[in-house]
């Protein structure tokens, strides 16, 4: 295999491109967007604040191998993400921890007391099938209604009872006072941003990148030995079995001149108020010094760019039908969140891309 076409310059495409180039292959990368880095793309806004165009991206992983791999292309700034959830106008630590319980119910629980409180509050469910089951089973109805129910309805346009258990199972409940959103071993932001990290990854004499190019435009006439496809799998097959459902988002960016700090933590969730789910203030994430600040509000919506695969049984079944077609495409590798119809975090997609490259090379 000498010539490789990579469709998509996000994590999946860029990592495979780099691995193939390091192994001596000629790699041609196309992306339909006019920038690299996929959804992790960051840029300076008109006021000079570094913002994430497609919503806040926080890097976290337990995999030293993946952290070390990306460290070839960037230095890091340590950053531990924190989130507050607004309930009845007050901000509480989220995920729910002991301080959340003490502040919300005016209690003075220690760790054991918090565990006992949750044991009393929970509504045991068996089997635990849906996201509603997961949350009721661990924290009970009051906390479910205050922090989860409406947020989930907004985020997914579905009731938690209509979503697979895995969605809510991502969010822990703690009896200690740890208010970090993630507890992974490695938590850091690329020192000069994601886009710079991607620039370094793609800076290789064997790699050519063309932006603003759709796969469909080069599909028939570009001579190659192999294709790495990181776009939507249903699009690749002309939506033969119908469209895979995605949840989309509208991002409303705003610059606040002269405001040094807008909110206490990087992200604040609004489970019960407004049409947006959360506000993120980028200076927390990036550590940038600036006289003003820039924030983004996220409005979930049905139409628009595909962001989140909707985790329901019937969608999984539809994906499996496309996956069968994909297996028969001998000269194409499907990798990434759109091609595998899977909610991947950044570290997971790097892992999937490294594995895909290894399978092709060895
Ligand atoms: C709002 C939001 C917040 C997130 N926050 C986090 C976070 O905090 N931490 C974390 O670890 N992960 C986060 N993620 C997940 C993260 O964005 C993904 O793991 C990662 O971007 C996946 O990389 P990818 O290469 O698979 O896909 P993408 O980044 O989507 O890259 C795919 C690329 O392929 C291109 N493409 C698609 N079809 C075609 C075509 N036909 N022709 C040409 N090009 C095409 C697209 O333009 C795109 O650039 C978040 C995701 C979202 C939506």
Q: Check whether 51 has a pLDDT greater than 80.
A: yes
Atom of ligand 1 nearest to the CA of 39: 29
Measure Cα distances from 311 to 279, 315, 318, 352 in Å.
24, 7, 12, 19
Residue 1 has pLDDT above 80, yes or no: no
Work out the pLDDT band at 168, boundaries 50, 70, 90.
confident
In angstroms and rounded to an integer, the radius of gyration of the C-alpha atoms of the chain is 22
Confidence of residue 169 (pLDDT cuts 50, 70, 90): confident
Question: Among the atoms of ligand 1, which is closest to the Cα of residue 81?
Answer: 8
- How far is the centre of ligand 1, averaged over its atoms, from the C-alpha of 174 (Å)? 30
Q: What is the mean pLDDT of residues 248-276?
A: 98
pLDDT band at 170 (very low <50, low <70, confident <90, very high): confident
| Confidence at residue 326, expressed as pLDDT on a 0 to 100 scale | 98
Cα-to-centroid distance, 39 and ligand 1 (Å): 4
Residue 221 has pLDDT above 90, yes or no: no
- What pLDDT does residue 49 have? 98
Find the 92 Cα to ligand 1 centroid distance in Å: 30
Q: How confident is the model at residue 223 (pLDDT cuts 50, 70, 90)?
A: confident
For the CA of 33, the closest atom of ligand 1 is 47
User: Residues enclosing ligand 1, CB less than 6 A?
Assistant: 7-13, 30-33, 38-40, 54-58, 214-215, 230-231, 235, 249, 307, 336-338, 344-347, 349
Mutate to test the pocket of ligand 1, among 230, 298, 308 (most ligand atoms within 8 A of CB): 230
pTM: predicted TM-score of the whole model, two decimal places: 0.97
d(CA 123, CA 289): 46
Pairing outcome for strands 267-269 and 83-87: parallel
Tell me what the mean pLDDT of segment 83-108 comes to. 98
In the chain, % of residues over pLDDT 90: 95
- 222: confidence class by pLDDT, cuts 50, 70, 90: confident
pLDDT given for residue 142 in this prediction: 97
Could you report the per-residue pLDDT of 294-316, keeping only the tens digit for each? 999 999 999 999 999 998 889 99
- Token representation of residue 17: 């491109």
By three-state DSSP, how is residue 269 classified? Answer: strand
Q: What domains does the chain contain, in order, with CATH numbers?
A: 3-71+189-245+309-361 (3.40.50.720), 95-169 (no CATH)
234/339 Cα distance (integer angstroms): 8
Residue 95: cis peptide before it, omega within 30 degrees of 0: yes
The rounded Å distance from CA 337 to ligand 1 centre is 7
Closest by CA to 135, choosing from 153, 119, 123, is 123
In this predicted structure, the answer to whether residue 240 has a pLDDT above a threshold of 90 is yes
DSSP-derived 3-state class of residue 232? coil
- Which atom of ligand 1 is the closest one to the Cα of 352? 26
> What number does the ligand 1 atom closest to the CA of 251 have?
1
Please tell me whether the peptide bond between 7 and the residue prior to it is cis, using omega within 30 degrees of 0: no
**Burial code of 151-175, b = ≥16 C-beta within 10 A, e = fewer?**
bbebbbebebeebbbebbeebebbb
């Amino acid at each position: 295999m000498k010539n490789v076409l990579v469709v998509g310059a996000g994590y999946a495409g860029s990592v495979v491109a780099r691995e193939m180039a390091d192994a001596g292959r000629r790699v041609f990368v196309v992306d339909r967007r006019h920038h690299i880095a996929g959804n992790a793309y960051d840029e300076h806004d008109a006021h000079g604040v570094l913002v994430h165009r497609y919503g806040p991206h926080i890097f976290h992983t337990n995999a030293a191998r993946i952290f070390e791999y990306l460290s070839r292309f960037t230095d890091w700034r340590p950053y531990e993400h924190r989130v507050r959830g607004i309930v009845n106008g007050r901000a509480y630590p989220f995920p729910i921890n002991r301080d959340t319980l003490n502040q919300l119910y005016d209690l003075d629980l220690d760790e054991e007391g918090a565990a006992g409180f949750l044991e009393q509050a929970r509504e045991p469910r068996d089997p635990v099938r849906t996201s509603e089951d997961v949350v009721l089973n661990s924290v009970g109805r009051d906390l479910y209604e205050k922090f989860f129910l409406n947020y989930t309805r907004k985020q997914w346009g579905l009731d938690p009872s209509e979503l697979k258990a895995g969605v809510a199972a991502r969010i822990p409940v703690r009896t200690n006072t740890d208010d970090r959103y993630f507890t992974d071993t490695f938590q850091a932001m690329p020192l000069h941003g994601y886009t710079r990290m991607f620039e370094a990854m793609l800076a290789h004499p064997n790699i050519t990148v063309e932006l603003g190019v759709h796969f469909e435009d080069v599909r028939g006439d570009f001579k190659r030995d192999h294709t790495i496809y990181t776009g939507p799998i249903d699009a690749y097959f002309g939506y033969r079995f119908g469209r895979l459902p995605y949840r989309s988002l509208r991002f409303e960016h705003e610059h606040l001149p002269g405001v040094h700090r807008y909110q206490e933590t990087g992200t604040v969730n609004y489970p019960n108020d407004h049409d947006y789910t959360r506000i993120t203030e980028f200076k927390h994430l990036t550590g940038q010094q600036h006289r003003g600040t820039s924030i983004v509000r996220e409005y979930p919506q049905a139409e628009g760019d595909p962001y989140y695969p909707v985790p329901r049984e019937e969608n999984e079944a539809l994906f499996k039908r496309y996956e069968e077609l994909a297996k028969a495409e001998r000269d194409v590798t499907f990798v990434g969140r759109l091609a595998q119809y899977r909610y991947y975090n950044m570290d997971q997609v790097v892992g999937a891309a490294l594995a895909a490259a290894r399978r092709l090379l060895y």
